[in-house]
Chains A and B, each alone.
Chain A
Amino acid sequence: MTLADQLLQYLITGFSVGIVYGLVGLGITIVFNATGIINFAQGEFVMLGGMAAAALAANGAPLWLAVILAVAATTLVALAMERLTIYQLRGASVITLIIATIGASLVLQGGAKLLWGPDAVTFPPFSGDTPIRIGGGGIAPQRLWVMGLATLSVVAVQLFFRFTLTGKAIRACAINRRAARLSGISADRMVRLSFAVSAALAALGGTVLTPVTLMQYAQGTHYTLTGFLASVLGGLGNGLGAVLGGVTIGMIESFSSGFISSGYSKAIALVVALIVLWWRPQGLLGRRQLQ
């Protein structure tokens, strides 16, 4: 494999993993904008999406149905979580809410382990696993699915927030909750919707990625932490920034895994992210805050 082929491999791997980080980060941003808290159970939605789809596929469901049902089921779980934790803690401090989401993530993790066991699960890739030959190397076709579907979701979400009335209503709540309510927007409903959208995004990312990376009950935490860092790197509150941050972290992980050391790749990506943030605290796409 020539250097060019290697670079292409790393690029594609990095982008496909990074875009899922970006989806998680986007979900975190949506919830953050609506509620001001960081949902530490976000990565669990990725895990649930993937594992539910695997379980459904193992029970004979056709893949397309398994994916849709898994995303729907995860969204329902997220709504339940919102009702039982966030809604109960209206007006509590940020750290209290964050602890509550951490508690919820433990419940989800434990639930997944109980339902599906401690082992990693997977299901067949959408369009087979013969690598598509490019240059001297091959790409797993599933990675293309990941990149395609994830990018489509990001675009769809951006359009939703920009051009639909509901999307604008959610943005209104984020800008000024009281003013939004005075305009007749139900802030509680918008919060619930934000949770649902962010969970659906995460679950979709989880389902498309599972055939490539497998999914196990404990993997959610990794996605939560990386997604959170992606959203801060991109500029907390900026959805597109979160996606950009996620892709950046994914790329750095992939390239450092290839060229430096696969064990240290995560740490290297984090160090680079921290350096960027130190040099530019508002994040890649954030606006400089007035001191």
Chain B
Amino acid sequence: MTLSLLARAIRAAGLAIFFAFVAIPLLLHSAYLATVGIFIGIHAIVAVGLGLLMGYAGQVSLGHAAFYGLGAYSSAILTTRLGLSPLPAMVAGTAITAIIALILGTPTLRLHGHYLAMFTLAFGIIIQTIFNQAERLTRGTSGIVGIPPFSIGPLRFDTVPKAYLLVLAVLALSIFAVRNLVNSRPGRALRALHESEVAASVCGVDVPRAKLEVFVLSAILASVAGSLYAHFVNYVSPVPFGFGFSVQLLVMVVVGGAGSVWGPLAGAALFTVLSQFLQKTGERIAFVGTTDTILFGMVLVAVVIFLQKGLVSLPSRLRGEATPAEDSGI
């Protein structure tokens, strides 16, 4: 078997696994598997956006959980307090998040170096603090309950299989949008600026503007995913929207491979499955339950060491091609 055949086999296997993932929960009528699938999908939506930011615009965000949380809390507050129906609430929430991303990104993306990383880190902490403290708006640590399931007009996504299909649809749309962006002229401009900001700007690419657009787009995707999360779990609290989740997103993108559209999706799937697996095993085997953080950390370090360029590039690396983002996504 030549290497190229092996590479193609891996790619085909990957696609098969992907479709299996999508179909199995529905075929087996398993609410549990579909729930895992929903979380994979939601995480993937955020991860794809973050991957775009990191792999193509070469920027790191250490606070993306904040945009996710903003989407979730906006949907929660607008539907439970103001009685808006979910779709307009999501649109409004996304608009709010986009504006905030614009405000945050405009001064920072003009600076060189890793200022965005630092600003997003601080921003994430500030937003989570606000979620915790602004009790009149967010009910603080108790959180907001009674969020209705997502609905578009008379179509309600109130069962697990329906929610799963909804998440898949949104994920497909996101991937489609990102793919189009990547293969279009603005997309090529982005890839140019990732390679060299100076060269790109010499060719006429408006570097700060391109970076800002990607940043805002990644924030929008995170916000949409957050809204979906809120409508699925029917409850939000500040806990899932902190640095921990931002790190998890980072891991999904880097492990899956930031330089492609499918990479972050694979990373999200792997990560979600792994943490679910550790959790379930931990419930049965006490030793795993207490060591799950350690195991996860070790797996993370191991993966990073052995697969520096992420999983999705494995077929092309076997073929001997250069990966789109040569240095691990940044």
A270 and B126 form a contact (CB under 8 A): yes
Q: Which of B122-177 contact A (CB under 8 A)?
A: 122-123, 125-126, 129-130, 132-133
Q: Does A56 contact B (CB under 8 A)?
A: no
For A267, what are the chain B residues with a Cβ–Cβ distance below 8 Å?
Answer: 125-126, 129-130, 133
Q: In the bound complex, what is the Cα–Cα distance between A92 and B299 (angstroms)?
A: 18
Quick one: given A103-B297, A264-B129, are A93 and B327 in contact (CB under 8 Å)? yes
Interface centre among A89, A94, A102, A289 (most CB of B within 10 A): A102
Fill in one digit per residue for A78-120: 1 if any B CB lies within 8 Å of its CB, else 0.
Answer: 0000001100110011111001101111111111011000000
Flag whether A225 is at the interface (Cβ < 8 A): yes
Contacts of B291 on A, CB cut-off 8 Å?
110, 114
Is A229 part of the contact surface with B, judged by Cβ < 8 Å?
yes
Proximity bits, A254-278, B CB within 8 Å = 1, else 0: 0000000101101100110110011
> Would A271 and B305 count as touching, CB distance under 8 A?
no
Contact: B250 with A266, CB < 8 Å? no
> When the two chains form their complex, are residues B254 and A96 in contact, meaning their CB atoms are under 8 A apart?
yes
Within 8 A of B (CB), among A96-148: 96, 99-100, 102-111, 113-114
Give every chain B residue within 8 A of A107 (Cβ-Cβ): 293-294, 297-298, 301
B125 touching A263, Cβ below 8 Å? no
- Whether B328 pairs with A96 at a CB distance below 8 angstroms is yes
Chain B: minimal CB distance from A112 (Å) = 10
Q: Are A99 and B251 in contact (CB under 8 A)?
A: yes
Cβ A95 vs Cβ B301 within 8 A:
no
CB-CB under 8 A from B122, the residues of chain A are 229, 270-271, 273-274
B296 at interface (Cβ–Cβ under 8 A)?
A: yes
Whether A95 contacts B294 in the complex (CB less than 8 A), given A263-B129, A263-B132, comes out as: no
Q: Which residues of B are interface residues toward A (Cβ below 8 A)?
A: 54, 60, 107-108, 111-113, 115, 118-119, 121-123, 125-126, 129-130, 132-133, 243-244, 247, 250-251, 254, 290-301, 304-305, 308, 327-330
Contacts beyond the supplied A93-B329, A95-B329, A107-B301: 16 A-B pairs with Cβ under 8 Å: A93-B328, A96-B304, A96-B308, A96-B328, A99-B304, A102-B247, A106-B293, A107-B297, A110-B291, A110-B292, A110-B296, A221-B244, A267-B125, A274-B122, A278-B108, A289-B113
